């Protein structure tokens, strides 16, 4: 037996217990966050999505072109 063995009395004394702790609700967490800046116009958001989609399609187009060119 080692000296680090904990008896039932020390376990109930508050060591390691979560008494008094409550998880904050989603509304409380959201209220604590800072306000987010405006995203921009609809055109800017749509063009950003289209631009990212076009960049993501480049590798697939390159592989497809290698199959067609072969």
Does 54 have pLDDT greater than 70? yes
Q: Quick one: pLDDT at residue 58? A: 97
Task: Report DSSP letters for the chain, one per residue.
Answer: --TTPPPHHHHTTTTT--TT--PPPHHHHHHHSPPPPP---HHHHHHHHHHHHHHHHHHHHHHHHHHHH-
Q: Quick one: pLDDT at residue 35? A: 85
Does 62 have pLDDT greater than 80? yes
Model confidence, pTM: 0.42
Residue ranges of domains in the chain: 41-70
Residue range 3-46, pLDDT digits in tens:
555 555 555 555 555 667 889 899 999 888 888 787 789 999 99
């Amino acid at each position: 037996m080692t000296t680090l063995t904990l008896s039932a009395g020390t376990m109930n004394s508050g060591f390691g217990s979560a008494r008094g702790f409550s998880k904050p609700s989603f509304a409380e967490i959201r209220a604590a966050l800072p306000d987010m800046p405006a995203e921009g116009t609809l055109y800017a958001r749509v063009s950003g999505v289209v631009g990212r989609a076009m960049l993501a399609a480049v590798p697939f187009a390159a592989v497809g072109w290698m199959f067609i060119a072969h």
